[in-house]
Amino acid sequence: MKSKLECIPCLLKQSLNATRMVTDDPVVQEKVLKSVMRVLLDMPLNRSPPSIAHAVYSIVHDITGCDDPYRALKAEYNGVAMEMYPCLKGIVDESEDRLFTAIKLAIAGNIIDFGAHIQFNVRKTIKDTLTREFAINDYPEFVESLEKSENILYLADNAGEVVFDRILIEEINDRANIIYAVKKKPIINDATTDDAIFCGIDSLAEIITTADTPGTILERCDPAFVATYRSADMIISKGQGNYESLSEEAGNIFFMLLAKCPVIAADLGVEIRSAVLKHKSSVKREDSTI
């Protein structure tokens, strides 16, 4: 998915938010903001939002001297989500369709996102996502694909959200081999290996790393990851960043996300704040350059 003009003010705001996690110094904040503006002035918009976001957050890291501005918040949300785990598990146990309920919870967990929205309400989102219709619901295709798949690649999105992914993985890891992909280095609040281990993924799935960019930009990923991606029978892709970077890539992908930004909502053809489970078949595999 290409970036849009409204990504520019959004990324500027994100750079300011991230900088303020590190420092109250207005001189540093202004230096970051103006440096990002200069870079965005020359940035071609045919790049995907995660690709541009990588450049933006690199400036934040370089100028603030902090390569993990959301470290404390990520730890906090890992803790909050882990405390919610028994409750989430209870919701699945009491449901009529365990798998669909686990998918709903995995999507609800996508509300934990410091890039798109600083403020969010996890409990309200869980309630809403459990009761609302999905704007796009390819659950029948998901079930069908799950039955045929031996190797599933699960692309994580954010720290904290990992616990919600765990709920879904626990429903499917007896049917297939799951590989859980996280970021190689901290970027925004994206999940890393440490987050995956803290949230208990390591006993359920193999953990692999993608790259140091938000989303999953295949050109930037380790060859081992790309090989895993190419050989996966089914890919579960969580969140906006993975959708933005993979919506035009080949693969048997199921995108699970909350459409938190108007650009993504428009690209998907749904209302903002919609819950989405969207299947993208591998029609473009032959055209892939990777």
Residue from 1, 18, 21, 33 touching a second copy (CB under 8 A): that is 33
What's the closest the beta carbon of residue 34 comes to a second copy, in angstroms? 6
By the rule CB under 8 A, 26 interacts with a second copy? yes
Question: How many residues in the shown chain lie near a second copy by CB under 8 A?
Answer: 18
Region of 24-32, 50-58, 95-103, 280-288 interacting with a second copy (CB under 8 A)? 24-32
Q: How far apart are CA 109 and CA 160, in angstroms?
A: 8
Triad 185, 69, 41: Cα angle to 5°: 85
Longest dimension (CA), the chain: 56
Taking CB under 8 A as the rule, does residue 12 contact a second copy? yes
- CB of residue 60 to a second copy, shortest distance in Å: 13
Contacts of residue 86, defined as CB under 8 A and 6 or more positions apart, other chains included, come to none
By CB under 8 A, residue 22 contacts a second copy: no
Whose CA is closest to 228, among 281, 177, 179?
A: 179
Binding to a second copy, residues 34-93 (CB under 8 A): 34, 37-38, 40-41, 45
Question: Of the listed pieces 7-15, 139-147, 263-271, 278-286, which binds a second copy according to CB under 8 A?
Answer: 7-15
User: Which pair of tokens denotes residue 179?
Assistant: 């590989």
**β-sheet with 275-280: strand ranges across:** 136-137, 275-280, 253-258, 234-238, 151-155, 177-182, 206-209
Task: Confirm or reject binding of residue 13 to a second copy (CB under 8 A).
Answer: yes
Nearest approach, Cβ of residue 107 and a second copy (Å): 24
Out of 1, 8, 105, 111, the only residue in the binding site for a second copy (CB under 8 A) is 8
> 57 by DSSP, 3-state: which?
helix
Name the helix (H) or strand (E) containing 87: helix 71-93
Q: Under the rule (CB under 8 A), what is the footprint of a second copy? A: 5-6, 8-10, 12-13, 16, 26, 29-30, 33-34, 37-38, 40-41, 45
